[in-house]
């Protein structure tokens, strides 16, 4: 047996979607979740979970990229520091000669 979405819910949701207000559509789905048939509830919940997982993976990639850039900057600074120390030693040697 296929559960159908009540007509009033369907119309109200479609009106929100037609306005293009994603935040309102999300709020509607969360507020009215229990009014939908069980299979539709499951689909809505899975969509939110998949989205959250996707955002989590995206955020993890951004963090990893940021950390990589930070490590590269530290490596560059250390290299520059070594070069400056080497130049300083060369100058000190020249001055002492």
Q: What is the pLDDT of residues 26-56, one digit of tens each?
A: 999 999 999 988 888 999 999 989 888 888 8
Question: Looking at residue 20, what DSSP letter applies?
Answer: T
* Element counts in the chain: helices (H) and strands (E): 3, 0
Give the model's confidence band at 66: pLDDT under 50 very low, under 70 low, under 90 confident, else very high. Answer: confident
Site of tokens 């900057």: 73
Query: How high is the mean pLDDT of the chain?
Result: 87
* pLDDT value of position 3: 58
Least confident of 2-6, 66-70, 75-79, 83-87: 2-6
- Spatial distance between the Cα atoms of 36 and 60, rounded to a whole number of angstroms: 33
């Amino acid at each position: 047996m296929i559960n159908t979405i009540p007509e009033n819910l369907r119309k109200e949701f479609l009106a929100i979607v037609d306005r293009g207000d994603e935040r309102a559509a999300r709020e509607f789905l969360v507020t009215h979740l229990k009014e939908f048939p069980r299979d539709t509830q499951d689909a809505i919940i899975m969509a939110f979970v998949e989205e959250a997982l996707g955002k989590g993976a995206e955020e993890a990639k951004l963090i990893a990229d940021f950390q990589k850039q930070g490590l590269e900057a530290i490596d560059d600074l250390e290299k520059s520091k070594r070069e400056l120390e080497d130049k300083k030693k060369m100058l000190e040697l020249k001055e002492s000669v």
